[in-house]
């Protein structure tokens, strides 16, 4: 039987690989577009694909940063608090973050549905492939924040 921990670790590896691959692909497409423009044969669709991939890379990377505590933070005063107060404050902040992410998720899905008819400039695909990255990324970050809350509570033996 497959354990939840193994599924989560596999997901994390896939997400890390995908975010790195997306970023490398964006750089490649922008590089090719700039070389072709310099050569006098611009490729309009490469910039649109780079935009689509970049939005996805942003939200997958944001989730990775949240999971690895790499977002920018000002912790000068927080570090001066007792450890338990630091954990309580982190849990409170994560609850606020989840509330904001749920808000973005709700309106992101609405935006994506509204952009269903709109086409990406030089491609014949829906613009919603770009905008759907917002709610999906926010949903992933919400799950990550919930897991962090659970780990913080578990670390202080509030639950078993």
Over residues 17-26, the pLDDT tens digits come to: 999 999 999 9
**Which runs of consecutive H residues, i.e. helices, occur in 4-156?**
4-38, 44-67, 83-114, 128-131, 133-155
Asked if the model's pLDDT at residue 158 lies above 60, the reply is no
Asked if the model's pLDDT at residue 157 lies above 80, the reply is no
First to last CA, the chain: 23
Q: Mean pLDDT in the chain?
A: 91
Asked if the model's pLDDT at residue 160 lies above 50, the reply is no
Asked if the model's pLDDT at residue 94 lies above 90, the reply is yes
């Amino acid at each position: 039987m497959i354990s939840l921990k193994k599924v989560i670790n596999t997901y994390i590896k896939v997400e890390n690989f995908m975010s790195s691959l997306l970023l490398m692909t964006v750089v490649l497409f922008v590089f090719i577009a700039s070389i072709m423009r310099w050569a006098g044969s611009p490729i309009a669709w490469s910039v649109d694909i780079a935009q689509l991939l970049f939005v996805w890379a942003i939200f997958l990377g944001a989730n990775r940063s949240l999971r690895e505590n790499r977002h920018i933070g000002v912790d000068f005063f927080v570090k001066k608090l007792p450890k338990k107060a630091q954990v309580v404050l982190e849990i409170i902040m994560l609850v606020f973050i989840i509330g904001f992410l749920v808000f973005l998720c709700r309106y992101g899905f609405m935006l994506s549905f509204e952009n269903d008819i709109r086409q990406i400039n030089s491609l014949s695909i829906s613009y919603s492939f770009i905008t759907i990255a917002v709610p999906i990324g926010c949903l992933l970050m919400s799950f990550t924040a919930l897991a962090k809350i659970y780990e913080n509570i578990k670390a202080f033996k509030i639950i078993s």
